[in-house]
Amino acid sequence: MNNLGRGFVIVLSAPSGAGKGTLAAHLLETMSALRWSVSTTTRAPRPGEVAGEAYHFVDVDTFCKRLEQDAFLEWAQVFGNYYGTERANVESVLANGEDLILDIDWQGARQVRAKLPADAVVSIAILPPSRQALQERLEGRCTDDPQVIARRMAQAGEEIAHWQEYDYLLVNDDLQRACQDLAAIITAERLRRARERVPVQKILATFAESM
């Protein structure tokens, strides 16, 4: 356990293609006391996915039982599969003084804010510079057919429509600058007085001894 006090949750939401994965990977590589939240899902593992790293894989019955027990901070059903963030995993990381990145959409962000104290959640919406830029990025991947791209663009519009619900907006028009801005947000939040990241009382006590 480190001396940073209790950690907080960093909610990252973005349309597909906005660069959220790249930004999060940079954070994890360059900042200490930072973890990535591994979601629980009922979908089958894909080739190369390792249980506990990509996802925690469970069957539908197990997921539903945990849902009945209110074990999830947030959950959703997407294309017939369940996905959720388990509360116990989050609490363990935060209690250890580490901050935790959650990759969830605006609906999941609402659920997390409803279940955690306000000072335990920092929400960041990552936006593309324009609709055209997002479409070009999706088409540039050369991995999705036109129908999938059209669906992702429609979902992007819905995601971006909820921008006012977030603490921070980060436009990813320049990757290097966006990485710097995202790291600056996390650093600033760690320095908030309410988070008690520095053992202030111990410092004050050393001054009191000489008075």
Identity of the amino acid at 55:
Y
User: In the predicted model, is pLDDT for residue 205 greater than 50?
Assistant: yes
pLDDT digits (tens, 9 = 90+) for 11-23: 999 998 999 999 9
Q: How confident is the model at residue 2 (pLDDT cuts 50, 70, 90)?
A: very low
Q: Which helix (H) or strand (E) holds 12?
A: strand 9-13
Identity of the amino acid at 101:
I
Average per-residue pLDDT in the chain?
91
Q: Nearest-5° angle of CA 22, CA 102, CA 19?
A: 20
Residues 6+ apart with CB under 8 A from 198: 5
Residues 6+ apart with CB under 8 A from 68: none
Over pLDDT 70: what percentage of the chain? 94
Return d(Cα 99, Cα 12) in angstroms, integer.
13
| Domains defined for the chain, CATH in brackets | 9-37+98-208 (3.40.50.300)
Identity of the amino acid at 117:
P
Q: Does the pTM exceed 0.95?
A: no
Identity of the amino acid at 109:
A
User: Is there a contact between 169 and 125 (Cβ–Cβ < 8 Å)?
Assistant: yes
Token digits of residue 61: 């019955």
Token digits of residue 161: 């429509």
Strands 81-86 and 40-41: antiparallel
